[in-house]
Amino acid sequence: MKHLLKLLDLSTEEIIDILNLADQLKYELKHGIPHPHLKGKTLGMIFQKSSTRTRVSFETGMYQLGGYPLFLSSNDLQIGRGEPVQDTARVLSRYLDGIMIRTFEQAEVEALAEYGNIPIINGLTDFCHPCQVLADLMTIREFKGSFDGLKMCFIGDGNNMANSLIVGGLKVGMSVSIACPKDYRPPKEILDFAAKYDNFEITDSPAQAAKNADVLYTDVWASMGQEGEAEKRKKAFAGYQINDEIMSVANADAMVLHCLPAHREEEITAKVFEEHANEIFEEAENRLHAQKAVMVKLMA
């Protein structure tokens, strides 16, 4: 594994290896055991979109590993004034030991990897959010003990989160069901991947997708960059909500996850959110541990 560009590129074994190392690093952090695997290394973090979790967890994670993180806002980089990503990649490769990038186009992340010669980590694109789903898988295994026999259900937009959850969930052996409006299904590349699995289901009925689910997941109806479509999307996604009715068809001990930020009373009710806050915030914490594992695997 040279980069983390999308989960489609990773084998099941590579995913499980990252989760195991993440568990170990979490244990070490909680027990005050130092783990300076990246002493003297630097990570550049390019952000073309806002972030709370990704920025702070990568920055503190790099510090805990003994390395140095640089926050690079696209407003300040020449990339924001049109310098090609291909040139940015070749320059930054000479200063840094790794780059995390959050941007719009997946192609931009792939170009960084192609033109640079250091590990590239995708911190979210419109296409996928692999770091988030590694933390999600870590959280599911932590709460449920294993992935065996689990059904994960995603309700909402066929967006970056849905895409990575489908790929990650199926690769670790869970059943995956997706409920989204017909016009907001995941892209062909993801559906073609999922079609190879007989434990994948896509429907426009949230209740059908949630039936007997062990894990329920949702995300905002309008992602970063889609703010102008917010009103149209509110109409299209009405009913695609995790609420008491949906919880009643899932398994009694179903867990609820959300990548955050959450919009209460849109994709999830405040009641269900608060009832599952311990899972949701453990999930947010696990971003730190999972990404530290990714950085160690790629940069140590």
Dihedral class, residue 197 (left if φ above 0, else alpha if ψ from -120 to 50, else beta): beta
Q: How far is the CB of 33 from ligand NVA (least distance, A)?
A: 30
Cα distance between residue 44 and residue 163, in whole Å? 26
**Choosing among ligand NVA, ligand CP, none, which partner's interface includes residue 159 (Cβ < 5 to 8 Å by kind)?**
ligand NVA
Three-class secondary structure of residue 238 per DSSP: coil
Q: Known catalytic residue: 141?
A: no
**121 within 8 A of 4, measured Cβ to Cβ:** yes
Closer CB to ligand CP, 96 or 259, in the complex: 259
Q: How far is the CB of 262 from ligand NVA (least distance, A)?
A: 10
Q: How far is the CB of 259 from ligand NVA (least distance, A)?
A: 5
Cα distance between residue 218 and residue 300, in whole Å? 34
Q: How far is the CB of 132 from ligand CP (least distance, A)?
A: 5
- What are 62's two structure tokens? 């790099």
**258 within 8 A of 156, measured Cβ to Cβ:** no
Question: Mask 226-265, x = binds ligand NVA (CB under 6 A)?
Answer: ---------------------------------x------
**283 within 8 A of 26, measured Cβ to Cβ:** no
Closer CB to ligand CP, 89 or 134, in the complex: 134
Q: Known catalytic residue: 106?
A: no
**150 within 8 A of 215, measured Cβ to Cβ:** yes
Q: Known catalytic residue: 81?
A: no
Q: Tokens 């990897």 sit at which residue? A: 113
Give me the residues that bind ligand NVA (CB under 6 A), please. Answer: 124, 159-161, 219-220, 223-224, 259
Q: Which residues are catalytic?
A: 102, 129, 132, 219, 259, 287
Binding site for ligand CP (CB under 6 A): 51-54, 124, 132, 259-260
